[in-house]
Structure 1
Amino acid sequence: MIVELSLGVIDVIQDYEVKISQFENLLQRITTDMTSSVVLEKMVPSEVWRQSQRDVTLLRDLAKQLKDFMLLLKPERAPTIKRHVEALLKPLSNFEDILLRKSEGSPADSRVALDELRRAAIEGSNFLDLAKEIRDNPSEMISTLFRLKEVYDAKEYLSAVSVPEATFVRFEGLKKEIKNLRLSIVNMERALKDLKNGLDMVSAELSKFRPLSEGGTQEEPGSSSFSAGKNKESE
C-alpha cells in the first residue's frame, strides 16, 4: 500500500505563493490605475479615497500577512523584513491620513496624497522582491521543523497502515535497535552522573589546600597548636 502524505511545508509555501501573487497583481493595478492617473489628481481628496480605499486597504492587509509568512520561513531575516514592511506601510498610512484629514480639500491635497502612494508603490516593489527571495530560499531549520511536525501528525495514521511482511520484519528490527540505543543512552547518562559526582568530590578536596607559608612547608590544620602544647610539656 502506497501512503501519500501531504507536506505541511509545501502547503505553507503554496499559501505564501498565493499571497505573493495577490500582492503583486494588486500592486501592479495600483501603480497603473492610481499612481499614474491624471484623473485622480484632479479629484478632491474624498473622491480619491472613495476610489482607492478598497485596493489600498487590501494591499496593506496582504503586506501584513506576507510579513507573517516571511518571519515564519526566514526568522533570521526578521530585521530586514520588518524594515521593508514598515517602509511600505508608512506611506500608505500617510496617503490615507492626508485624504481623510483634508477630505474637503482641493486637488492639490490629492496630489500630495498620491505622491505618498507612489512612494508606497516603490517600497511595495522592494518588499515583493524580498518576499520572492524568501519563498525561493526558506530557512533550512524551519523546513526541518515542519517536516518533523508532519511526521508527528502522521504517526497515528501510519500506525494503522498495513505493510508487507518483509517490511514489517525490518520495522521490528529497527524498533529493537531504537530500544537498545535508548538503553545505551540511559547507561551513558548514569556514567556521566557518576563522573560528575567524582569530579565534585575531587574539586572539594582540592579546595582544602592552601599556598605554602614563607617558612617553607605547608602546615596542616591543628599542627601549630599541637607543637605549642608539646613544647610546654617539655618545659
Structure 2
Amino acid sequence: MAILSVNINKIATLRNSRGGNVPDLLQVAMDLERFGAQGITIHPRPDERHIKYQDARDLKKIVTTELNIEGNPIDSFVKLVDEVRPAQVTLVPDAPDAITSNAGWDTIKHADFLKDMVAHFKSNGIRTSIFVDPVEKMVEAAAQTGVDRIELYTEDYARQYSTDKEKAIAPYIKAAQVATQVGLGINAGHDLSLENLKYFSEQIVDLKEVSIGHALISESLYLGLENVVNMYKHRLA
C-alpha cells in the first residue's frame, strides 16, 4: 500500500493571506498525522509566499511520520534541507516565479548537476527523489544519478483522466515499469484527487508514496479534513 503524504502549502497560503498564525500550520500538521496522514510535504519557494523557511525548521520538531521537503535545489534550499534533514528531499525544477510545478527534470541534460545534488543529500542521510515526467528515457537517466526514487509528475494523467483514463495512465505504467527494472522507488504527485487516485494506484503497482495538497485541502472544505484523509487512504488500499 502506498503511503499518503499531505502537502500543506495551501494551509500556509491561507495563513499568510491575513498575517498572524491562523490557521496554525504546526497544529494542522499534527492533526493530519492524528487523522491518519503518513507524511507531511512542504514546498518552500524563495519568496516564501506560502511555506516559510522557518516553517520547515519548526515542522521538523513536531512531525512524527515523514517530512518531505520538495523544491528547486538552489543554494538557499540546499542549506535549508541540510539544516532540517527531513526524511526525504524531492528535487523539482520549478522557476522562482512558478505558480506551481509544471514539468519534470530533463535528467539527461542535467545529469551531472543532479548526480552532485543526490550525492550531497544522501551523504547527509536523506532519501532523495527526482521529479520526472512519465518518459522512459528520463526515468532511465534518473537512475544513473544514484537517486533513491522518482516522483512521477501526474498533471497530464489528471487532465486526461475524465475523457480516457486508459490513455491517460499508459505512459505512467511504462515509466513505472522502467523505474522498477532499474531499482527506483516510485512516488507520484500533482493534481491527484479523490476522483482519479484509486485508478492510478491500482495501475501503478509499485507505487510507494503520493503527495497531495491542493485537491485534498479543497475537498476538505466540503467534506472535512479527517474524513478526506481517510478517503484518500482508502483509495490507496
The interval holding the TM-score normalised by the smaller chain is under 0.3
Which structure dedicates a bigger proportion of its chain to strand?
2
- Structure ranking higher on relative contact order (CA contacts 8 Å, 6+ apart): 1
TM norm structure 2: 0.21
TM norm structure 1: 0.21
Larger Rg: 1
